[in-house]
Amino acid sequence: MSRTAHYKFGLAAFAALGSGWVFVLVALGAFTTSIGAGMAFSDWPLSNGSINPLGWLTEIDKFAEHSHRLSASLMSSITIILAVWLWLTEERTWLRRLGYFAVGLVLTQAAVGGLRVLFDHQHIDLVNTSLGRLFAMLHAVLAQAFVCTLFAIAIASSRPWIEGSSGWTGVSSQRLRQLGAVCVALLFVQLSIAAIVRHSFAGLAIPTFPLSTPEGNLLPALWDFRVSIHFAHRVMAGVVSLALVAFVRQLWREPSAPTALRWLGIGLLGLISLQIYLGAQIIWTGRSVSMTTGHVIIGALTLAVTFLLTCFTYHGSVKTNPA
> Tens digits of per-residue pLDDT, 101-118?
999 999 999 999 999 999
Residue 289's pLDDT is 96
Report yes or no: 274 and 298 within 8 Å, Cβ to Cβ: yes
Summary mean pLDDT of the chain: 93
Tens of pLDDT along 43-82? 999 999 999 999 999 999 999 999 999 999 999 999 999 9
**299: which residues sit within 8 A by CB, 6+ positions away?**
187, 190, 191, 194, 275
Residue 180's pLDDT is 96
Q: Hey, what long-range contacts does 260-266 have (CB within 8 A, 24 or more apart)?
A: 260/167, 260/168, 261/168, 261/309, 261/312, 261/313, 264/305, 264/308, 264/309, 265/309
pTM of full prediction above 0.75:
yes
